Amino acid sequence: MTHASTADRSPIKILPQEVIRKKRDGKPLSEGEIEAFIAGVTEGSIPDYQIAAMLMAIFLRGFNDAELAAWAQAMLHSGDVLDLSEIPGPKVDKHSTGGVGDKISLPLAPAVAACGVAVPMVSGRGLGHSGGTLDKLESIPGFRVDLGVDRFRRTVAELGLCLIGQTERIAPADRVLYALRDVTATVESVPLIASSIMSKKLAEGIDALVLDCKVGHGAFMKTRQQASQLGHAIKTIGAAAGKPVTVVVTDMDSPIGSSVGNALEVAESIAVLRGEGPADSRELTVRLGAEMLLCGGVVDSGAEGAERIAASLDGGSALDLFRRLVEAQDGDPRVVDDPQGILPRARQRTPVVAPKAGKVAAIAAEDVGVAALVLGAGRRRKEDKVDPAVGIEMAVRVGDTVAVGEPLAFLIHNDRGVEEARQRLLGAFRIGDRAAPPGSRILEVLR
Amino acid sequence: MTHASTADRSPIKILPQEVIRKKRDGKPLSEGEIEAFIAGVTEGSIPDYQIAAMLMAIFLRGFNDAELAAWAQAMLHSGDVLDLSEIPGPKVDKHSTGGVGDKISLPLAPAVAACGVAVPMVSGRGLGHSGGTLDKLESIPGFRVDLGVDRFRRTVAELGLCLIGQTERIAPADRVLYALRDVTATVESVPLIASSIMSKKLAEGIDALVLDCKVGHGAFMKTRQQASQLGHAIKTIGAAAGKPVTVVVTDMDSPIGSSVGNALEVAESIAVLRGEGPADSRELTVRLGAEMLLCGGVVDSGAEGAERIAASLDGGSALDLFRRLVEAQDGDPRVVDDPQGILPRARQRTPVVAPKAGKVAAIAAEDVGVAALVLGAGRRRKEDKVDPAVGIEMAVRVGDTVAVGEPLAFLIHNDRGVEEARQRLLGAFRIGDRAAPPGSRILEVLR
């Protein structure tokens, strides 16, 4: 009987409209009310229209810290929670709120694992300009992200890392809420975003989390204030669950690194793992990795952590671990030595050139992301298929000087969307008389 | 094709979540957006969860006057709008926001019609402590409220009044919204209440409306401020539609008149129509009737209107018209001369007595209403059947002096709920050392 199982999970009985009314009036909900509401969401006993009204009330009224922690905990426990405690040593994950050209998980996870902190990374697929981490990995021939929990656990135990997709059994309440938020204009809510992220991350069996909270043109959070609100909310949820969270606020105004698109970003990640690659991609890998090592308790300072990560990139241990990871997840390990030969390649490479001479003052990340999306690198809708080969290769970065007709970037494309992508991409560049030299991507670290 | 008909009704295309987002952010919606949203509600193309999120956003963000008028107009035009223009003379209706013992429509409609202003009254059934106007009328043996539009029109033309229930074709958007508001904690919203009322009232083909806006313990609106907000909203919608509305704010702290319950209230109404009956029931009839005559342009002042209404009650013309109305709607007209003999009667009459001596300082209307509901006079849920015979007969009014053991009221009941009703009823009375004498029910008139 459904009722029996409800009673087991939620000792108190609620009338959903009474809980909605309370939140509507800005009154704090009790832990019991929140647990019972989320139980109703999970088992389907609360209809969509009541959930939708509740989401709007939360959007407009917010949560206090206790409500936020209880809501996230209830979402977490709506599904399976992995227990990796039998694997010795610290387990730390990183989550990024998402950006354009953000391939950092790929070099980061092996670098951190090579330094002795395990990285059990479970990613959602979601929507985005250029695919998510799972899409990027899947551009490596053979690479599988649907390993199942047992193999995930074994791989983490053996290699110290594994990267898989969410199973149906992780935070099922989040799937219901997420689908509804998308169509009820309740996506951009700090407590709803924070609890959605944490309900999935805490299910991984981690000890601590580093949140890369992106801010700027190409990010979900457009202002420092929004980013720090989200960071605070995530830290609150983590603290209540006994899982410390370090928030790193990073600049997402211009695209990260020199490539946007799935296979292109794998190639750039391999470059970073060789101790090469664009300076900002390396910086993000080193600094986020340093915070993960600090969270894991294997170093005493950020500076020591940064040295260790840099050494793992420059010394080959991170690349080596990536090779073993690819193999362990059924991918073709030759990709590590010959990315150009193994990764899918698009048929054409079309330059987009500077219409005037000057300094590159800004490259609007979101426009570059949309250009990649138009070529087929990302998904507009869940059903869309991603083209792993296409994307954008940046030829200049902010602060560079360009002459008329010089390439700003290249469209790496097949048949789809070239003209629209060119227009979008051209619109992303602001060329002027002067430009500030690019600063650090790291804006703030909240430990 | 559904799409073709949508295009006909709503020239602009909307993405519902974008309109929700706009309201969520407190921005005013355009007339086109509102029309398209309501068209989607009516035809079922906008799912319940999006409507629910919108209702919560409206609840928390409100409407400006232009939005309010457009929303009510769109709801009105979601269904049939009667045109009674071929019936000569003014047509004015009254609407009450609902109270305990509020039977005033029954004496009021014939009194106003007897003075030369037609009253085409279409009522909803709704929920309530003691049934609505339709339930009261149906306690008269044979009385039918489901006459259909043609017979309604003929009866108004012939007698100057007719009282029927809403058809399925009046404001269908309101039915969808109302059902959702009930379960999403979005009932108590001034713009949503006002547009719900007006979408149905403006469909009657009236020239003007008098709104009896009740305030106090037994009313939906608990404070003068809420009542005047609702009054303002209703006037705004009426003005935009070219239908003037007079708002009469009336006191609903203690039950109206001396009876609560369907047949009991019919008997009291007949007493008022004979020029007798409780002073407050007569006062409300006279004053609301006066405003209706003023709206209809057949008198020049409220005072003149009051005189005319009083004369129709005292001279027998209102009673005579009520008799003809009962006959025209298939009821037994002998009820007018022998209410006790014709109306259904409950088996028992049980006194509730004063536990101490003193002055009756207050009689909490809502508690009296709930006592009547418990006996079966009203509905908790739409499916509930009303017992027409049961209810409460008041033996004292505010300001009276009582001795220990003297009856305060009588439960008029069959088998159901006697003990609970007695407790409820007893709890309604506050007996103290002093009591202010009862004042006028009329608190404010907003013309």
Q: Tens of pLDDT along A396-446?
A: 999 999 999 999 999 999 998 999 999 999 999 999 999 888 789 999 999
**pLDDT value of position B217:** 86
| Chain A residue numbers touching B52 (CB-CB < 8 A) | 48-50, 52-53, 56, 184
Q: Which residues have C-beta within 8 Å of that of residue A75, sequence separation ≥ 6?
A: A38, A171, A173, A174, A177, A195, A196, A199
**pLDDT value of position B123:** 85
| DSSP character at residue B433 | S
- The Cα B103–Cα B263 span in angstroms is 10
| DSSP character at residue B204 | G
Q: Is B196 an annotated catalytic residue?
A: yes
| Chain A residue numbers touching B176 (CB-CB < 8 A) | none
Average pLDDT (A227-245) is 96
**pLDDT value of position B380:** 77
Share of chain B above pLDDT 70, in %: 96
CB contact under 8 A, B56 and A24: yes
Average pLDDT (B348-353) is 97
CB B431 within 8 A of CB B375: no
Q: Is B174 an annotated catalytic residue?
A: yes
- The Cα A326–Cα A266 span in angstroms is 12
Looking at chain B, which residue has its C-alpha nearest residue A50?
B184
- Asked if A240 is an interface residue toward chain B (Cβ–Cβ < 8 A), one would say no
- Asked if B50 is an interface residue toward chain A (Cβ–Cβ < 8 A), one would say yes
CB contact under 8 A, B186 and A59: no
- Asked if B17 is an interface residue toward chain A (Cβ–Cβ < 8 A), one would say yes
| Chain A residue numbers touching B55 (CB-CB < 8 A) | 53
Confidence bin at A282 (pLDDT 50/70/90): very high
Q: Provide the token pair at B270.
A: 């007949």
CB A45 within 8 A of CB A82: no
| Chain B residue numbers touching A50 (CB-CB < 8 A) | 52, 183-184
| Chain B residue numbers touching A47 (CB-CB < 8 A) | 48, 183
Residue-wise pLDDT tens digits, B127-183:
666 678 999 999 999 999 999 899 999 999 999 999 999 888 899 999 999 889 989
Average pLDDT (A179-204) is 93
- Asked if A37 is an interface residue toward chain B (Cβ–Cβ < 8 A), one would say no
**pLDDT value of position A1:** 29
**pLDDT value of position A398:** 94
Q: Provide the token pair at A386.
A: 């991603």
- The Cα B128–Cα B381 span in angstroms is 9
The Cα-based distances of A273 to A5, A133, A142, A314 in angstroms read 49, 16, 20, 8
Report A:183-202 residues touching B (Cβ under 8 A): 183-186
Residue-wise pLDDT tens digits, A96-146:
998 999 999 999 999 999 999 999 998 877 666 667 899 999 999 999 999
| DSSP character at residue A37 | H
Report A:56-95 residues touching B (Cβ under 8 A): 56-57, 59-61
- The Cα B71–Cα B34 span in angstroms is 6
Indicate the residue of B21, B55, B182 with minimum beta-carbon distance to A185: B21
The Cα-based distances of A405 to A351, A353, A355, A371 in angstroms read 10, 5, 6, 20
Q: Is the pLDDT of residue B7 over 60?
A: no
3-state secondary structure A35-91: HHHHHHHHHCCCCHHHHHHHHHHHHHHCCCHHHHHHHHHHHHCCCCCCCCCCCCCCE
Sign of the alpha-carbon dihedral angle for A2, A6, A8, A13: negative
Residue-wise pLDDT tens digits, B133-146:
999 999 999 999 99
CB contact under 8 A, A48 and B51: no
- Least Cα separation, residue B22 to chain A (angstroms): 9
**Residue owning tokens 């259909």:** B148
Task: Give the SS3 label for residue A150.
Answer: helix
- The alpha-carbon radius of gyration of chain A (Å, integer) is 22
| Chain B residue numbers touching A57 (CB-CB < 8 A) | 56, 60, 185
**pLDDT value of position A129:** 65
Give the rounded distance of the alpha carbon of B362 from its chain centre: 24
Average pLDDT (A171-191) is 92
- Interface probe for B, chosen from A20, A33, A56, A180 (most Cβ of B below 10 Å), is A56
Catalytic residue, candidates A94, A181, A235, A422: A181
- Least Cα separation, residue B181 to chain A (angstroms): 10
- The Cα A335–Cα A434 span in angstroms is 40
**pLDDT value of position A404:** 96
Residue-wise pLDDT tens digits, B308-322:
999 999 999 999 999
Residue type, A218: G
Catalytic residue, candidates B94, B136, B181, B282: B181
Average pLDDT (A162-181) is 91
Query: Dihedrals φ, ψ of B213, to 5°?
Result: -95, 105
User: What pTM was estimated for this model as a whole?
Assistant: 0.86
| Chain A residue numbers touching B182 (CB-CB < 8 A) | 17
- Asked if A148 is an interface residue toward chain B (Cβ–Cβ < 8 A), one would say no
Indicate the residue of B16, B47, B185 with minimum beta-carbon distance to A24: B185
**pLDDT value of position B102:** 95
| DSSP character at residue B336 | G
- Domains along chain A with CATH numbers: 2-76 (1.20.970.10), 85-336 (3.40.1030.10), 345-432 (3.90.1170.30)
Share of chain B above pLDDT 90, in %: 85
Q: Is A199 an annotated catalytic residue?
A: no
Q: Is A146 an annotated catalytic residue?
A: no
- The Cα A11–Cα A7 span in angstroms is 5
Residue-wise pLDDT tens digits, B83-100:
999 999 999 999 999 899
Q: Is B200 an annotated catalytic residue?
A: yes
Indicate the residue of A49, A59, A182 with minimum beta-carbon distance to B52: A49
| Chain B residue numbers touching A182 (CB-CB < 8 A) | 17
Q: Is the pLDDT of residue B406 over 90?
A: yes
Catalytic residue, candidates B174, B253, B280, B367: B174
Q: Is the pLDDT of residue B5 over 50?
A: no
Q: Is the pLDDT of residue A358 over 70?
A: yes
**pLDDT value of position A400:** 95
- Least Cα separation, residue A181 to chain B (angstroms): 10
- Asked if A55 is an interface residue toward chain B (Cβ–Cβ < 8 A), one would say yes
- Least Cα separation, residue B184 to chain A (angstroms): 5
**pLDDT value of position A383:** 76
**pLDDT value of position A2:** 32
Average pLDDT of every residue of chain A: 93
- Least Cα separation, residue B60 to chain A (angstroms): 8
Q: Is the pLDDT of residue B241 over 90?
A: yes
| DSSP character at residue B100 | T
**pLDDT value of position A127:** 60
ipTM of the complex, rounded to two decimals: 0.83
**pLDDT value of position A438:** 79
- Least Cα separation, residue B71 to chain A (angstroms): 19
Beta bridge partners of A96: A212
**pLDDT value of position A30:** 97
| Chain B residue numbers touching A55 (CB-CB < 8 A) | 53
**pLDDT value of position B129:** 65
Q: Provide the token pair at A129.
A: 């300009």
CB A159 within 8 A of CB A242: no
